[in-house]
Copies of this chain bind each other. A is one copy, B any other.
């Protein structure tokens, strides 16, 4: 590859980073895309992996494989640990190698966000969040193990705590997780246990504000809550978590004994942002210019969940995957325009609507001026999600699994194994 063309380094292979890379497919640049994992993840379906509906490989695809046909991209499996704006380099490290510096002419930071415990990092051990495949498998292991242990404990209090599942945060992820766990307990596992009645499991959805799906319209918020309650989820609004320990959660003065607590509240920008030396917002995100660049650093872009952008009309760009994709595409075009000497223009987010699913065949949708709930919304959700899955093969496999699950209530991937456990030898 000729060294004369500009080197674009993209940090992160999520929706924003991948869109930036593919958007540059015809540009006269050489690109290095660096990610800690080897795969692009279809995050909207991650809760299905966490609740044993889909396998990791159904919603993930090797980044290399997606970009195989694009000759101007090098893919690298490594961690970007720091950005040096003055030297125009990033620090890159792998598990086994010594850290090295990589120089860039244009830098696209799409490192995403993690969940935030609002300063209570000790809660992380007892209340895992859901951002990566590793997180999803951890949650799956916890949920399924709780039922296993409930089946064999002789202590009734312990059994009740094992059969209590608390989901903190009623945004789309929390709503989807709570709905899926309720259905697992009510339907899928019902016939398989002998000592325990899984339908008596409690699923508690705790939300600090006064509504589920707080960013949705009021009609949908009410619909979503009613649907959650109809499949057995207990919704607690206006309730703040004040402590999380191994034995359960404190909700103000009430302590709820629960062995499984899942965290779906709040996000905070990747720690990489802190190495930029700029003022971050409260959620640790990087404020950007209307063209997604960093103030005073025209060649550095921040896109996706890590970017904090206020549009011309004063509204913030939301941290959702369509916005991340659109920002990635915009930045690719901006880099191309820089090379051609034309103006970048300003990014504008096009909102195509919101969808959230609640259990097996319920959902709420708010799209193209229409707001609807129930089965129609669910079907829309299924088609939209299958459509966006990365490859055609995955679409067929996921469609088969869903059709199967829908008719049988069976969940396809209920595996538990303990990698840490020592083998018998």
Contacts and interface: CB of A to CB of B under 8 A. Distances in A.
A416 B39 contact: yes
Contacts of A95: 418, 421
Interface in A284-307: none
Contact of A410 (B393, B408, B425): B393
Contact of A133 (B96, B111, B415, B421): B415
Interface stretch (A164-172, A266-274, A318-326): A266-274
Given A55-B56, A58-B55, A65-B414, A425 B271 contact: yes
Contact of A38 (B144, B152, B421): B144
Nearest to A74: B194
B414 A404 contact: no
A397 interface: yes
A396 interface: yes
Copies, count? 2
A270 B134 contact: no
Nearest to A114: B425
A136 to B, nearest CB: 10
Nearest to A417: B37
Contacts of A144: 38
A143 to B, nearest CB: 12
B57 A424 contact: no
B114 A423 contact: yes
A8 to B, nearest CB: 15
A416 to B, nearest CB: 4
Nearest to A76: B152
Interface string A68-100: 110100111111000000000000001111000
A92 B195 CA distance: 18
A280 to B, nearest CB: 13
A132 interface: yes
B77 A416 contact: yes
A413 B134 contact: no
A218 interface: no
Given A424-B79, A424-B270, A57 B412 contact: yes
A194 B72 CA distance: 9
Given A74-B194, A131-B423, A397-B397, 6 more contacts: A36-B424, A55-B57, A56-B413, A75-B192, A272-B424, A396-B400
| A-B pairs with lowest CB-CB distance, top 5 | A57-B413, A55-B55, A64-B192, A38-B416, A77-B148
21 contacts: A38-B144, A38-B148, A38-B416, A55-B58, A64-B192, A65-B410, A68-B192, A79-B421, A94-B152, A95-B418, A97-B153, A114-B424, A132-B417, A133-B415, A134-B417, A137-B419, A270-B425, A271-B424, A271-B425, A393-B410, A400-B400
